[in-house]
Amino acid sequence: MQRAFYYGDLLFESISIKNGEIMLAERHFNRLLRNADIMKYELSKDFKLIEFITQIQTAIQLSNISNKENCRVRYTLFRYGEGFYLPISNQTQYLIDVFESISNYQESRLNVGIYKENYKSRGPLSNIKSGNALVYVLASIWAKQQSLEDALLLNDLGNIIESTRANIFWTKDNICYTPPLSEGCIAGVMREEIMSKEFVIEKSCKIEDLLSAESIFLTNALSNKKYISLSL
């Protein structure tokens, strides 16, 4: 676990459990495999979807939470072993944390601002859920200081890409839009699910797009669509 702490050398999945079902389990597993490949992790050839599911189910049953049928799980995969920036081994271990189920968005409509003090660079590492989360931490602190429920993040071009905890969509003239992954947003599993079922156009997001939008909503794996109001 030292490398995860020292260098942020980890991946994680935030997973919703509803009525005993691991929601979007296959999408979470496939994303973990894709991101592990980007991170040069060496996974066991026996690591299949069924093992991933069994690991989560076992962790839930061994947990001390009161409602095991409805909860949330954080699955963390990390490179272990000695080494500094250059790891001696690319083998991995995993850690599963189980939490009581609480929505990370309590309000029906969120007041959201645009965080401008730092930005995300574009590239493959920007699409993965890793231990490098400083911009999300600082943007969340900023949002709280501004009495807002969330903050929208910018990339190095000044385009809006996501919020601190969700992907962003907007509609105009009955067409739904979302930023492409090339803009630097997280490759969210709920984003992927929505885009597999609805017609969505990928488009760079300017502030003008949101100001003229008919609706703006956020999505992640732990909660339903949350519509937002911009606070500028």
Quickly list DSSP for 67-113: -TTSEEEEEEEEE-SSBSSSBS--BEEEEEEEEE---S--SSEEEEE
Q: Which fold has domain 2-100?
A: D-amino Acid Aminotransferase; Chain A, domain 1 (3.30.470)
State the sign of the Cα–Cα–Cα–Cα dihedral 116, 134, 148, 103.
Answer: positive
Domain ranges of the chain: 2-100, 109-230
The proportion of the chain whose per-residue pLDDT surpasses 70, expressed as a percent, equals 97
Instruction: Work out the angle at residue 82's Cα, subtended by the Cα atoms of residues 81 and 87, and round it to the nearest 5 degrees.
Output: 85
| Confidence bin at 82 (pLDDT 50/70/90) | confident
Instruction: Please classify residue 20 by burial: count the beta carbons closer than 10 Å to its beta carbon, then call 0-12 exposed, 13-18 middle and 19+ buried.
Output: exposed
Give per-residue pLDDT as tens, 3-23: 899 999 999 999 999 999 999
Q: Which fold has domain 109-230?
A: D-amino Acid Aminotransferase; Chain A, domain 2 (3.20.10)
Nearest to 216 by CA among 169, 183, 177, 161: 169
| Confidence bin at 104 (pLDDT 50/70/90) | low
CA distance 191 to 61: 29
Question: Whole-number mean pLDDT of the chain?
Answer: 95
Total-model pTM: 0.93
| Confidence bin at 223 (pLDDT 50/70/90) | confident
Query: Residue 133 above 90 pLDDT?
Result: yes
DSSP-derived secondary structure letter, 184: T
User: What is the pLDDT at residue 71?
Assistant: 96
Q: Are strands 109-114 and 92-100 parallel, antiparallel or unpaired?
A: unpaired
Average pLDDT over residues 156-161: 97
